[in-house]
């Protein structure tokens, strides 16, 4: 089996690929132009079981492994990154924190609707002054009279403002703690905040360069009262939970990157067959053929990287560096392939109605989302034991 995929993996990939080509691709430009998330398609994806792939059956999921989830994300990303990141973030950043760290009651409250695509959840970590450095978090949570009271703001939160968004996990400062070296650092905790909640304001959607269909908003929290039992996991473990979810999410994000790179490759091959230049097919030009060969090399390398990381995760082995490697390699492959595909298409590659043009716009954020390129390099360097990694443990 290619890349060691099982027959079940390949059957799922083919099913999702057919869905992507017949349902998503024909409508993707229209969604992009209107900047609307197609809730009917989200519902169809839910009926297909895509939002429940890595979730246990007792919570409404299908009980598949993480590799299966990544395969589904990759196939959709070939034709629409926005819809792919809606799925990737809906599970990786929305449902997984509850599954990994929630109480049994929290899991049964939130996961069934998330697993079926009837609801979406978001993860509120990033702020205006804290993205890669979560120690800069300014949102606070104070415990008073059996309730947590949250105040602050969050930025760039995916899936936070859709009509079916029901939950956002918020990281907030709940005090201070002392590190082993004696320095004092903020104590971060995580909270499950229902949507809507009084005092929680979803700001206007961002005017983004790409990912136009993906739902992304700022959030403001002003005296948001939630029950004491809305704390996710242990107090003071919010940063560790965020890191865990980001490590896992980077694998699926790398699969998304691979799908984008694959989509650009497929479009370049098709166009090189069809386009006639100077009386012959574009593919007869050696330079174009070699460009496409390099695109294939990037896709292959990126897929090998995320598959290895997913297998390590599925096997319960350490995968931190593998996840960062996959995200790094995948993002670079997507950016490079989008550039080359747009060049092969010439003027047609500059039209928004063209899939490669949308990939070209969308690909830049792949070097930023779920940890910038520099963060991935820092993680890899630290895992190698290099003192100049530039990241500190908290």
Report the chain's mean pLDDT, rounded to a whole number: 95
Enzyme catalytic residues: 370
Q: pLDDT for 97-111, tens place per residue?
A: 999 999 999 999 999
Q: Are 162 and 39 in contact (CB under 8 A)?
A: yes
> Could you tell me if 164 and 39 are in contact, meaning their C-beta atoms sit under 8 angstroms apart?
yes
Cα dist. 361→57, 103, 329, 354 in Å?
38, 40, 18, 11
Which CATH architecture does the domain made up of 121-236 adopt?
Beta Barrel (2.40)
CATH for 240-383 is: 1.20.140.10
* Cα–Cα distance measured from residue 32 to residue 353, given in angstroms and rounded to the nearest whole number: 9
- Give the residue among 66, 67, 61, 87 at the shortest CA–CA distance from 76: 87
- The reported pLDDT for the residue numbered 1 is 64
Separation CA 255–CA 234 (nearest Å): 31
**How far is Cα 11 from Cα 9, in angstroms, rounded to an integer?**
6
The least confident of 6-20, 113-127, 177-191 is 177-191
Report residue 348: phi and psi, to 5°. -65, -25
The domains of the chain are located at 2-119, 121-236, 240-383
Sorted by sequence, the CB contacts under 8 Å of residue 300 that are 6+ apart come out as: none
CA distance 194 to 142: 17
Report the DSSP pairing between strands 280-281 and 184-194.
unpaired
Q: Which pLDDT tens digit goes with each residue over 204-224?
A: 999 999 999 999 999 999 999
Q: Between the CA of residue 180 and those of 112, 184, 295, 393, what are the distances in Å? A: 40, 10, 47, 11
Look at residues 111, 108, 106 and name the one whose alpha carbon lies nearest to residue 54: 111
Predicted local confidence at residue 394, as pLDDT: 46
- Residues 341-391 have pLDDT tens digits of 999 999 999 999 999 999 999 999 999 999 999 999 999 999 999 987 765
The CATH number of 2-119 is which of 1.10.540.10, 1.10.10.10, 3.40.50.11890, 3.40.50.300?
A: 1.10.540.10
């Amino acid at each position: 089996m290619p890349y060691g995929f099982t027959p079940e993996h390949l059957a799922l990939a083919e099913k999702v690929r057919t869905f992507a080509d017949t349902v998503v691709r024909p409508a993707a430009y229209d969604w992009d132009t209107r900047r609307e998330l197609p809730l009917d398609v989200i519902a169809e994806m839910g009926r297909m079981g895509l939002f429940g792939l890595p979730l246990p059956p007792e919570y409404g999921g299908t009980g598949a492994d993480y590799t299966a989830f990544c395969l589904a994300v990759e196939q959709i990303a070939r034709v629409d990154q926005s819809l792919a990141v809606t799925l990737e973030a809906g599970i990786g950043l929305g449902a997984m924190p509850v599954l990994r760290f929630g109480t049994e009651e929290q899991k049964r409250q939130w996961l069934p609707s998330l697993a079926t695509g009837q609801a979406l959840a978001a993860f509120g970590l990033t702020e205006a002054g804290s993205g890669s450095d979560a120690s800069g978090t300014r949102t606070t949570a104070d415990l008073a009279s059996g309730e947590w009271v949250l105040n602050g703001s969050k930025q760039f939160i995916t899936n936070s403002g859709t009509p079916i968004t029901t939950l956002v996990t918020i990281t907030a400062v709940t005090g201070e703690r002392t590190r082993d070296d004696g320095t004092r650092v903020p104590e971060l905790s995580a909270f499950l905040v229902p949507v809507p909640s009084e005092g929680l304001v979803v700001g206007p959607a961002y005017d983004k360069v790409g990912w136009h269909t993906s739902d992304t908003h700022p959030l403001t929290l002003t005296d948001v009262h939630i029950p004491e039992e809305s704390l996710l996991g242990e107090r003071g473990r919010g940063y560790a939970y965020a890191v865990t979810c980001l490590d896992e999410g980077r694998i699926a994000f790398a699969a998304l990157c691979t799908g984008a790179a694959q989509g650009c490759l497929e479009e370049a091959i098709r166009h090189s067959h069809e386009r006639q230049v100077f009386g012959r097919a574009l593919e007869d030009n050696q330079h174009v053929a070699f460009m496409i060969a390099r695109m294939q090399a990037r896709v292959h390398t990126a897929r090998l990287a995320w598959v290895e990381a997913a297998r390590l995760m599925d096997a319960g082995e350490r995968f931190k560096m593998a996840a960062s490697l996959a995200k790094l390699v995948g993002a670079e492959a997507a950016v490079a392939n989008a550039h080359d595909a747009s060049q092969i298409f010439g003027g047609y590659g500059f039209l928004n109605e063209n899939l490669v043009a949308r990939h070209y716009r969308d690909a830049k954020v792949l070097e930023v989302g779920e940890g910038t390129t520099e963060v991935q390099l820092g993680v890899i360097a630290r895992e190698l034991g290099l003192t100049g990694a530039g990241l500190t443990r908290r």
